[in-house]
Amino acid sequence: MPARAVAVFLLLTVVIRTGHTSADDTAALLDAYAHRRFDLVDTALTRATDVVSVANELRAVASEWVRADPSAERDRTFVAAAVAVELAGRNVAERDAQRILIRWGAELLARQRPDERERAWLLTANALVQRTYDPFFLPQYGQSDSKWNFPGHALSRFPEEDRFHLARVIDLELASWRLVHMQQHMASVRSGGSGASAGSGTLRELARAFEKLLPRQSIAADVHLRLGQTYLRLGRFDDALKQLNQVETRTNDPFLIYLARYCTGVARRGSGDLPGAAQAFRAALDVVPDAQSAALALASLTLAGDNPAEAYALVRSSVVHAMDVSDPWRRYQEAEYRLWHSYVSVLRRQVR
């Protein structure tokens, strides 16, 4: 083993054992990533206890580490940014660290001309941003109160990337849940009724934003799904079904297929087609057995249809397997985060 590799290994063993880092430890972490020693990287990042301190140490050390090999400056810059986004993703609750690391990594890469490695980095960061729900990164309806507009930055670097266009509209969708709820609450207070129809203007605006993305074929399945869900929220069940029926013709992703079938069940139930709803919920369970969203929805229909035994079996099985089954409906708002590990794998393959 070369002397430098031995030094990297010894320094990272200290980080792994203690969870604390120094400037030398951080440089060793960057070396390990640059040498594709991802086994050491994974363990060191997992054991780091004070992520904000590690983030600040990384920013302090990275410039000198990059300059240490002028012939590999571009490669080393990418490695520093890659370590940053992976560290940010180790704990989605570490918002302070994510705010530091994602913006720093993006701005670090933006000092150079755009390339495929930066695109891979931004896609990875985008997945994490969508999971954190952090308003620091996300502009809201009619406002510019985000501290740093991540989707806007990504689009400024890669204006042709469909997934960054999708990210911008998903941010609006995420904001719409709270906004529509607030509008409905205010309407119910004023009128003394349910206020259910309030917020329709916001949802129509959201639907138009998704409709504009329909020509972008690489994201067509996602757009049809989310547009269908938006029509569901508007109570436009026939329009929702037209969109949801398009999803399976454009993807083989089980996550999207489950959601299309589950939402189809909701649309058919809303339009009064209870047999069709039951069929759709069963079809969703064919994709993700014991997923609670479809299992409980189907159970409510079978119970109403005088089949309590099946309803009991559905509920029991979904509860028993709740910890083992990742329900796509529970993860709907996470959007691209379901692809986090795939994006990280692509990122690591870019190391030269």
If you compute the radius of gyration of the chain from its CA atoms, what whole number of angstroms results? 23
Q: Could you tell me which residue, 32 or 3, shows the higher pLDDT?
A: 32
- Whether pLDDT at 3 is above 70: no
Cβ atoms of residues 139 and 190 within 8 Å: no
CA 29 vs. chain centroid, Å, equals 26
Q: What is the mean pLDDT of residues 314-327?
A: 79
Cβ atoms of residues 103 and 129 within 8 Å: no
DSSP 34-54: HTT-HHHHHHHHHH-S-HHHH
pLDDT in tens, 94-124: 899 999 999 999 999 999 999 999 999 999 9
pLDDT at 1: 47
Average pLDDT, the chain: 88
CA distance 73 to 81: 12
Confidence of residue 19 (pLDDT cuts 50, 70, 90): very low
Q: How far is CA 278 from CA 205, 249, 303, 319, in A?
A: 31, 21, 11, 19
CA distance 220 to 70: 43
8-state DSSP, 112: S
Confidence of residue 6 (pLDDT cuts 50, 70, 90): very low
Q: How many CB atoms lie within 10 A of CB 217?
A: 10
pLDDT at 161: 97
- Whether pLDDT at 140 is above 80: no
Q: Could you tell me which residue, 195 or 103, shows the higher pLDDT?
A: 103
Domain extent listing, the chain: 1-132
Cβ atoms of residues 253 and 243 within 8 Å: no
Which amino acid is residue 302, in one-letter code? Answer: T
3-state secondary structure of 56: helix
Q: What is the mean pLDDT of residues 35-64?
A: 91
pTM, entire model? 0.87
DSSP 151-162: HHHHHHH-TT-H
Q: Could you tell me which residue, 253 or 318, shows the higher pLDDT?
A: 253
Q: What is the mean pLDDT of residues 32-55?
A: 91
Characterize 314-340 residue by residue with b for buried, 16 or more Cβ atoms within 10 angstroms of its Cβ, and e for exposed.
bbebbeeeeeebebbbeebebbbbbbb
pLDDT at 150: 92
